[in-house]
Amino acid sequence: MAVKTANKKKTLVIVESPAKAKTIEKYLGPSYKVKASMGHLIDLPKSRMAIDVDNNFEPEYITVRGRAKLLKELQTDAKNSEEVLLASDNDREGEAIAWHLQRALSAKNENLTIARISFNEITPQAIKAAVAAPTTIDNAKVNAQKARRVLDRLVGYNLSPLLWKKVKNGLSAGRVQSVALRLICEREKEIEAFIPEEYWTLEVVFKTGRTTFAAALVSWNGEKPELHTEADAQTIITALNGAVFTVKDIRETDKTLRPRPPFTTSQLQQTAANRLGFTSKKTMQVAQQLYEGVVIGGSPVGLITYMRTDSVRISQTALDEVRGWIGGNYPDCLPEKPAFYSSGKQAQDAHEAIRPTYVKYTPDEVKGSLSNDQHRLYSIIWERFVASQMKAARTRTLSADISPENSNPDAIFRVSGTNVTEQGYMKVLKVLAPKEEKGSVFPPINKGDKPKLERFNPEQHFTQGPARFTDAGIVKTLEEKGIGRPSTYAPTISVLLDRGYVSRTNKQLVPSVLGKLICDMLVEHFGDVVNADFTAGMETGLDEVEGSARNWPDMIRDFYKPFKVRVDEVGSRLESIKGTLDEKTDQVCEKCGRPMVKKLGRYGYFLACPGFPECRNTKSIPLAKCPKCGGDIVARRGRGKKFYGCVNYPACDFLTYFLPLPDQACPKCGWFLVEKYDKRNGSQKACINPACDYLHSGA
């Protein structure tokens, strides 16, 4: 990089965010001025479609509202600079931002030198290397972003007005969000249709010396035991009562546990959700902070590489550094050769995996410079990366089969214990410590021993239906089905939540009444568009555009012509259900005396006075009948916590924190059913009556 003299104009570097600008300016020194564009300055208008469908789908770009002043400042700064380096993120959106900026700045400064620089990490070495080797705008990447933007605009601006006209004002549909909504709604239908089945397990508690331990029944009369009722379990207990047991066999099994590859975006979001309880949106916000730079020792440091990636590739420099660190701190855990991991078939491989920029900055060393959330997320990124280049761990499992003497009756009870024999990569894991590390205790028994039967432990269970999607679950499914890309997972979930199509309950994504209604309509009339395979195919098409293997207007044309025909056809023949969602009730407005109307709002049904706007009274919909007094159970809120209580309070004090299931009465006692949740069993239907055992979880 050439040394600049004091009398020369500065070089203007334009990045996306102020935090990044501050970090980079410190790295480059006084000869450079670093400014932030704050994301897109030029984009499609929000108020209209702005796509010329008759002219190769050419988009009509405008200066984003409220950004004209900033754009003018950048144009002035560019005019007073020696050259301009566009340093927006190295992805499709970043390339489009750079392309728009280049055009806007060139329009005011025809002879200005404008170049593109990109980097995967914000470190002095990476930034200076990028500045020393500027390139040009990647037009193929710009075209891929343009195609995606046009595609989403055509879908949204055709389907959303149809929903406004036929269903309700203010609704929206989108190419990716509607497929994600469909996945969530279809999972909910599976849950609602699931009928739990009773089954039992049987353990025997043995005693040997001073040690008691439990062994589970794994075989009965040579087959896997199927205990459907308590009577089935009792039959076995009766047959075994008084039997003398012997340890018939002890087996030893060694297992190798290999480390996992460093994080991709989806894996980071899934692990942060499962280990830290972060939403996908929060994970990306905190990761952005770590990437752009935090102050450590008085200087800003970009702690991680770019956080939007589908690749597990690692640079040679990073491999050399991490192997050097492992060799210095855990020499016995350093393998002879570095580990290389393969990315998925659909990976674009534009960026490295997510990793720490400097392995020397261990989580303990930087803890004092980070917020709690930053430290927790950085810890799992650092641990996952370092562990990925360490030796495998090894475990040893001892399993004992205990049976009645002479095998009469023929029963096998099994007890196991597992211990880690070689820690390997587990030595650096704290937040990500696996359950295998804790191990489990094997009782002090040997083959031929005769442990004493202390008691039988029969236990009732119910089969569990499919679990609702969590942030981690839906991200995993979207990735597996090829829907969206690393940059779209978190925004897709946010849109569904913001629109009121989905709510987050106990970290699970639950479709609202409105979300189900929209999904059913879209699936019925546009099933091929809100389809996982179709959407994945469109993503592949965008990748082909980015690889210069496909012309983007041709791709849009192939989709749009049949799609528009379908939209017009549905619009002409589909009867409007607008207003039909408003249902008269026998509830009387206590303020004006009118009969109230059941309306569908953003968060479900509610009661509203038809005298609006003169009377603005609204009420919650009754969810069930109070088992104490027969009054209505409605949703209420106290001290910031939602609960469900009787409308006759304080005369009736009945309340529950479990969601009542409308029109679902217990078949055993007649009380209403609720949705209960615990970490072990997830969501399940149970009777609210504490004296009734119908699927009662004891919560």
Q: Which amino acid is at 9?
A: K
Containing 153, the helix (H) or strand (E) segment is helix 139-166
Containing 154, the helix (H) or strand (E) segment is helix 139-166
- Alpha-carbon torsion 131, 136, 141, 145, what sign? positive
Residue with tokens 């089954």: 199
Rounded CA gap, 287 and 290, in Å? 5
Q: Count Cα atoms within 13 angstroms, Cβ side, for 144.
A: 25
Encode 606-633 in three state secondary structure.
EEECCCCCCCCCEECCCCEECCCCCCEE
Rounded CA gap, 666 and 671, in Å? 5
Rounded CA gap, 542 and 177, in Å? 17
Rounded CA gap, 330 and 336, in Å? 13
- Between vectors from CA 577 to CA 573 and to CA 580, what angle results, nearest 5°? 150
Contacts of 460 (CB under 8 A, 6+ apart): 198, 200, 230
Rounded CA gap, 310 and 354, in Å? 9
The conformation of residue 470, written as its DSSP 8-state character, comes to B
Q: What tokens appear for 5 in the block?
A: 């003299």
Q: What tokens appear for 144 in the block?
A: 């891929």
The conformation of residue 333, written as its DSSP 8-state character, comes to G
Q: Phi/psi zone of residue 672: left (φ > 0), alpha (ψ -120 to 50 degrees), beta?
A: beta
The conformation of residue 91, written as its DSSP 8-state character, comes to S
Contact 214, 194 (CB under 8 A): no
Rounded CA gap, 401 and 415, in Å? 7
**Ramachandran angles phi, psi of 440, nearest 5°:** -145, 150
Contact 400, 249 (CB under 8 A): yes
Contact 112, 83 (CB under 8 A): yes
Q: Which amino acid is at 356?
A: P
Q: Which runs of consecutive H residues, i.e. helices, occur in 425-508?
A: 435-438, 471-480, 489-498
Rounded CA gap, 393 and 422, in Å? 5
Contact 121, 317 (CB under 8 A): no
- Alpha-carbon torsion 64, 70, 72, 75, what sign? negative
Rounded CA gap, 374 and 287, in Å? 8
The conformation of residue 133, written as its DSSP 8-state character, comes to S
Contacts of 30 (CB under 8 A, 6+ apart): 10
Rounded CA gap, 622 and 645, in Å? 10
Catalytic amino acids? 306
What would the DSSP string read from start to end of 220-282? ETTB-----SHHHHHHHHHHHTT--EEEEEEEEEEEEEPPPPPB-HHHHHHHIIIII---HHH
